[in-house]
Chain A
Amino acid sequence: QKEVEQDPGPLSVPEGAIVSLNCTYSNSAFQYFMWYRQYSRKGPELLMYTYSSGNKEDGRFTAQVDKSSKYISLFIRDSQPSDSATYLCAMSRTNAGKSTFGDGTTLTVKP
């Protein structure tokens, strides 16, 4: 079983919809939780970064971490066609030196 499982998708939504992207994990030592956005054939870019539990908001994006359930989510409000991309969750332990990635969820926002 993989340490990090991500909802596989693909996901297709109309413009303006609220999108929920989710990952579960098995390693309770994970403390850092990241969401990366990857456009087709490009390198991923960091979207959200959270340490330990709680919520973090940045514009239309909200990241939630529930360590008791080992579950993280990324919410996108008022989704735009430019949000169409693959979203990768990633997480790591303190001083681990490396991150573990989910397989990604491909999102398409239709105008």
Chain B
Amino acid sequence: DGGITQSPKYLFRKEGQNVTLSCEQNLNHDAMYWYRQDPGQGLRLIYYSQIVNDFQKGDIAEGYSVSREKKESFPLTVTSAQKNPTAFYLCASRQGPINEKLFFGSGTQLSVL
């Protein structure tokens, strides 16, 4: 089955620790995205990548980092500089530059210990 796989489903971070959220897609989509969702709020864009080895900051990139070494993979690192990391993180992919439809993974809930 084609789709987007996010792991882990739940993640706990200790203060001062960096953690990495995984996102893998087998849809052969060019563009991939990371969104953050806080309770009762919409999706805020963290980073996005339209092609391998290239990515752009979204609206709330501070305290996060990404890489795009392979088309299928777009991991997100939540660094210790992100002081309020508790949120639901969603990865998405898009077919191409004309098609605006996003396909989402099932999300990772990150909490601070």
Contacts and interface: CB of A to CB of B under 8 A. Distances in A.
Interface residues of A, number: 22
A41 B89 CA distance: 10
A56 to B, nearest CB: 13
A43 B97 contact: no
A44 B104 contact: yes
Given A41-B88, A41-B107, A102-B42, A97 B102 contact: no
A65 interface: no
B42 A104 contact: yes
For the residues of B in contact with A, the DSSP-based class is: strand
Contacts of A32: 100
A37 to B, nearest CB: 11
Nearest to A106: B40
Given A98-B48, A98-B58, A103-B41, A44 B90 contact: yes
A99 B42 contact: no
A41 B109 contact: yes
Nearest to A9: B40
A36 B4 CA distance: 16
Contacts of B40: 103-104
A92 B105 CA distance: 20
B100 A42 contact: no
A95 B50 CA distance: 11
Contact of A43 (B58, B101, B106): B106
A63 B97 CA distance: 23
B101 A34 contact: yes
Contact of B106 (A34, A42, A46): A42
CB-based closest 7 A-B pairs: A43-B104, A103-B42, A32-B100, A101-B42, A101-B43, A43-B106, A92-B100
15 contacts: A32-B100, A34-B102, A36-B104, A41-B107, A41-B109, A42-B106, A42-B107, A43-B90, A43-B104, A43-B107, A97-B31, A97-B50, A98-B48, A103-B40, A104-B41
Interface of A: 6, 32, 34, 36, 41-46, 49, 88, 90, 92, 95, 97-99, 101-104
